[in-house]
Amino acid sequence: MRTALRWPALVLLAHVARAAAADMSGPALDYVLNCQGCHRADGTGTPGSVPALAGSVGRFLRVPGGREYLARVPGVAQAPLDDAAVARLLNWMLERFDKDDLPHDFVPYAPDEVGRLRTSPLTDVERVRRELLAAIERARP
């Protein structure tokens, strides 16, 4: 009797698990395959080792040099994706993780812009990041 009752439960579990294996495509898939491993699914990162995107990444667009920085950081500049996919991914991340911080006049990244910026990756990421974060702090109302 008990065994007989287990089968409907297994079938139910099977359907739940199937629903959980969601289809992924476009920039969401590119994020999962190229960024999520470190920045995590919710973009919170790991304090001390992996910067958070959530509630943070959009702030860089508010200071000079920030827009270029986001396309030149190693993870973006060296991602195994073409320029169009990287532009699409950057725009998706900004909307997904920090929409509230986007400037009102935000213009989405374009493939040729990303292509140009990727050809000059940052050599001293930490220093540039520190300077930009300081500028963001100073610009706070």
Q: What would the x/- binding string for another protein be over residues 15 to 34, using CB under 8 A?
A: xxxx--xxxxxx--x--xxx
The nearest distance, CB 121 to another protein, in angstroms, is 14
If 0-12 CB within 10 Å is exposed, 13-18 middle and 19+ buried, where does residue 135 land? middle
Q: Which of 2, 4, 14, 77 binds another protein (CB under 8 A)?
A: 14
Picking from 81, 64, 78, the residue whose alpha carbon sits closest to that of residue 30 is 81
The nearest distance, CB 67 to another protein, in angstroms, is 23
Binders in 76-105 for another protein, by CB under 8 A? 78, 80
Contact 60, 103 (CB under 8 A): no
Q: Is 1 in the site for another protein (CB under 8 A)?
A: no
Q: Is 37 in the site for another protein (CB under 8 A)?
A: yes
| Cα of 60 vs its chain's centroid, Å | 13
- What is the C-alpha separation between 14 and 42, in angstroms, rounded? 26
- What is the C-alpha separation between 24 and 12, in angstroms, rounded? 23
The smaller minimum CB distance to another protein, of residues 24 and 139, is found at 24
Cβ atoms within 10 Å of 22's Cβ, excluding its own: 7
Q: Which residues are at the interface with another protein (CB under 8 A)?
A: 3, 10, 13-18, 21-26, 29, 32-34, 36-38, 40, 46, 49-50, 75, 78, 80
